[in-house]
């Protein structure tokens, strides 16, 4: 299969490295200087330092040429860039589009499938890939399992067969909404977990946050039309556990640094990567208001990020809640 991976960040590069073992892959990035440096050094020093790019992997800064004669477009840009990429490609593409973007589009608050529907149409063959997956580990060839979801069951089955690999196992789903809500909200819960660890609250507190965070994810997802069982799978529980406990998680580190009293702007500059949970918190609170869903952890994180409360006040807001039935 001829695959075009759009976005030379950590996840896009890791997917391109992995897929080039079995397919003809071109990795595109809009930064011409970065692409040229990758050609010369055979390393993506900015996002995957120390990992050698395969010689079979093609690199390109020409978007239109990249998708010429491709069989599959895999968009791995931040979600903020998804609309511009799809708009540029819309008159030219005739093949399925798979995205690995997580979160909500800034300003509109739309999920990836909603953006794609606006630009490509409701019935265009599209799918989303999401799950517990640190880019560095996949790029090193360590085992990874993710969910691939599409409303088109035939497309799901086709992509699962074509992309399945012992080191990247794909599990199919038709719950696009649930998969995307889980992928967006787990980053908020990771910030909360990092905050808890940064305040030295212990493993018990982190376990409670993860568990109640999963309940919030499921609550909103089901209200929006997702399936509750999706949140117990790889794109829900699996991704949440990884992101809320792994030191490689950018969102977890945001929470830890906030607990130390650092300002958000400084934290994000230090990370040098997108921390999707920061933007997602605002959008999730808006959705909670729209769907009348109780999301106390999400609200706490959103208030903390916007300096409405301190880290210790955030903790108190959760500990002082009224007792209630778990289910």
State the CATH number of the domain containing residue 108. 3.40.50.720
Residue 324 appears among annotated catalytic residues? no
Domain boundary at 174, 193, 221, which? 174
Tokens 């798979």 map to which residue?
98
CB 28 within 8 A of CB 81: no
What rounded mean pLDDT belongs to the chain? Answer: 94
Looking at residue 269, its pLDDT comes to: 87
Which tens digits make up the pLDDT trace of 115-149?
999 999 999 999 999 999 999 999 999 999 999 99
127 with 204, same domain? no
d(CA 240, CA 231): 9
Inter-helix orientation angle 296-305/311-319, to 10°: 160
Closest CA to 102 of 276, 291, 293: 276
End-to-end alpha-carbon separation of the chain, Å? Answer: 47
pLDDT band at 321 (very low <50, low <70, confident <90, very high): confident
Cα torsion 218, 240, 266, 264 to 10°: value is: 20
294 with 200, same domain? yes
100 with 199, same domain? no
What is the token pair recorded at 47? 């996002």
Give the active site residue among 123, 186, 269, 324. 186
Q: Quick check: is 315 in a domain?
A: yes
* pLDDT at residue 300 tops 80: yes
Taking the whole predicted model, whether its pTM rises above 0.85 is answered as yes
Closest CA to 44 of 27, 64, 62: 27
- CB neighbour class for 184 (10 Å; exposed up to 12, middle 13-18, buried from 19): buried
Closest CA to 180 of 274, 95, 73, 287: 287
* pLDDT at residue 327 tops 80: no
Looking at residue 317, its pLDDT comes to: 81
* DSSP strand pairing (144-149 vs 168-173): parallel
pLDDT band at 218 (very low <50, low <70, confident <90, very high): very high
Please give the residue that has the higher pLDDT: either 240 or 308: 240
CB 200 within 8 A of CB 169: no
193 with 84, same domain? no
What is the token pair recorded at 295? 């999301």
CB 47 within 8 A of CB 31: no
227 with 139, same domain? no
DSSP state of 165: B
CB 219 within 8 A of CB 157: no
170 with 201, same domain? no
Tell me which residue range forms the domain holding 267. Answer: 184-319
Q: Quick check: is 43 in a domain?
A: yes
């Amino acid at each position: 299969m001829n695959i075009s991976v759009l976005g030379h960040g950590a996840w896009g590069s890791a997917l391109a490295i992995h897929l080039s073992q079995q397919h003809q892959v071109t990795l595109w990035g809009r930064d011409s200087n970065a692409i040229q440096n990758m050609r010369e050094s055979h390393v993506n020093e900015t996002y995957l330092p120390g990992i050698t790019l395969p010689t079979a992997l093609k690199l390109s800064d020409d978007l239109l040429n990249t998708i010429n004669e491709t069989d599959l477009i895999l968009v791995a840009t931040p979600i903020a860039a998804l609309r511009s990429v799809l708009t540029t490609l819309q008159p030219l593409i005739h093949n399925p589009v798979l995205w690995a973007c997580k979160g909500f589009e800034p300003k509109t608050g739309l999920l990836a499938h909603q953006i794609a529907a606006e630009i490509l149409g409701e019935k265009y063959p599209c799918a989303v890939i999401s799950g517990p997956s640190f880019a560095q580990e996949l790029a090193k060839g360590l085992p990874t399992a993710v969910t691939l979801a599409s409303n088109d069951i035939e497309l799901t089955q086709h992509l699962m067969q074509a992309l399945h690999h012992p080191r990247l196992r794909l599990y199919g789903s038709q719950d696009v909404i649930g998969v995307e809500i889980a992928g967006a909200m787990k980053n908020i819960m990771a910030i909360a977990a990092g905050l808890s660890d940064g305040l030295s609250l212990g493993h018990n507190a982190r376990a409670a946050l993860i568990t109640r965070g999963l309940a919030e994810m499921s609550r909103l997802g089901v209200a929006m039309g997702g399936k509750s069982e999706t949140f117990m799978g790889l794109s829900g529980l699996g991704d949440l556990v990884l992101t809320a406990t792994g030191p490689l998680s950018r969102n977890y580190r945001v929470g830890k640094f906030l607990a130390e009293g650092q300002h958000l702007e400084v934290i994000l500059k230090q990370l040098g990567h997108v921390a999707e949970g920061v933007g997602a918190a605002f959008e999730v609170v808006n959705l909670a208001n729209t769907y009348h869903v109780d999301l106390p952890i999400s609200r706490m994180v959103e208030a903390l990020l916007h300096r409405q409360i301190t880290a210790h006040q955030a903790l108190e807001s959760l500990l002082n809640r009224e007792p209630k039935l778990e289910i």
